[in-house]
Amino acid sequence: MSAAPQQVSVPLSDGRSMRALVVRPDGEAPEGGWPGVLVVHEAFGLTPEITEVGRTFADRGWVAVVPDVFSAGNKLGCLVRSVREMTAGRPGPVIDDLVAVQQWLGAREDVAADRTTAIGFCMGGAFALLLGSLAPAGLRAVSANYGQPPAADLDLTRCPPVIASYGERDRTLSGAGPAMEARLAGAGVEHEVTTYPGAAHSFLTGDHRLFGVVPLPGTSYVTSAAEEAWPRIFDFLERHTAVRT
């Protein structure tokens, strides 16, 4: 079981901060701390579906930090900056901020500093891959879900193990699964990349509506794909954050 989510303010560079939710398991932390996971939201912002991802991890014995990427300044400016960085496929100021959040998570007394990971969706999936390319201290694995692959010339050789999930019917990322698998294999990175039949974009996190009203085509929860993907993701991340003896 998880404790009630806690709202926090994570310090960034230049005196800025980023709002986030922290969800932790209920009770006392084990010796050495729990594993930690950074949950990065889609371009739709910090939705209830993404918060629920953090709660699910906490129920499984993780401390999850779920930042609002668009809160580290003017919201529109943050959105534009995030989309620009995702499109460029290279680490920039947004990734610097996410590294700060990941390091803040690892510095918590209830978290094992060398057992953190990151999971992202859509824009967040792209950011999870970019974060992994920098190999920040303590990051053991990355889960990238329907995230745009990094720029073709970006060095991925330092990336920790990656599990990536794509939808066969995702027109915005057609062929991204095989392309990402080839990139990771060429870089010598341990990986598990799956393209799920019948799944479109956002198949793990549910339907999306513009301004909470207008359904966005091509974004829908797909039960069969989600029920196959989630156990794989949890197994992969839990194996790579297991205590090393």
Q: What is the pLDDT of residues 35-49, one digit of tens each?
A: 999 999 998 889 888
Could you tell me if 72 and 97 are in contact, meaning their C-beta atoms sit under 8 angstroms apart?
yes
- The more confidently predicted of residues 66 and 202 is 66
Could you tell me if 148 and 168 are in contact, meaning their C-beta atoms sit under 8 angstroms apart?
no
User: Could you tell me the pLDDT band of residue 222, with boundaries at 50, 70 and 90?
Assistant: confident
The DSSP string of 144-159 is EESPPPPPTT---TT-
Highest CATH level, class, for 6-240? alpha beta
User: Could you tell me the pLDDT band of residue 243, with boundaries at 50, 70 and 90?
Assistant: confident
Q: Report the pLDDT value the prediction gives residue 200, as an integer from 0 to 100.
A: 87
Q: Report the pLDDT value the prediction gives residue 2, as an integer from 0 to 100.
A: 78
3-state secondary structure of 100: helix
Instruction: Give residue 88's identity as a one-letter amino acid code.
Output: A
Instruction: Give residue 75's identity as a one-letter amino acid code.
Output: K
Q: Report the pLDDT value the prediction gives residue 211, as an integer from 0 to 100.
A: 41
Which residue ranges make up each domain of the chain? 6-240
Percent pLDDT > 70 in the chain is: 93
Q: Report the pLDDT value the prediction gives residue 223, as an integer from 0 to 100.
A: 82
C-alpha distances in Å from residue 44, one per residue of 70, 104, 109, 119, 205: 10, 24, 32, 16, 11
Q: Report the pLDDT value the prediction gives residue 215, as an integer from 0 to 100.
A: 47
Average pLDDT over residues 185-208: 89
Q: Report the pLDDT value the prediction gives residue 245, as an integer from 0 to 100.
A: 53
pLDDT digits (tens, 9 = 90+) for 88-139: 999 999 999 999 999 999 999 999 999 999 999 999 999 999 999 999 999 9
User: Could you tell me the pLDDT band of residue 210, with boundaries at 50, 70 and 90?
Assistant: very low
First vs last Cα of the chain: how many Å apart? 27
Instruction: Give yes or no for residue 216 having a pLDDT over 60.
Output: no
Instruction: Give yes or no for residue 219 having a pLDDT over 60.
Output: no
Instruction: Give yes or no for residue 217 having a pLDDT over 80.
Output: no
Q: Which helix (H) or strand (E) holds 18?
A: strand 17-23
Q: Report the pLDDT value the prediction gives residue 214, as an integer from 0 to 100.
A: 42
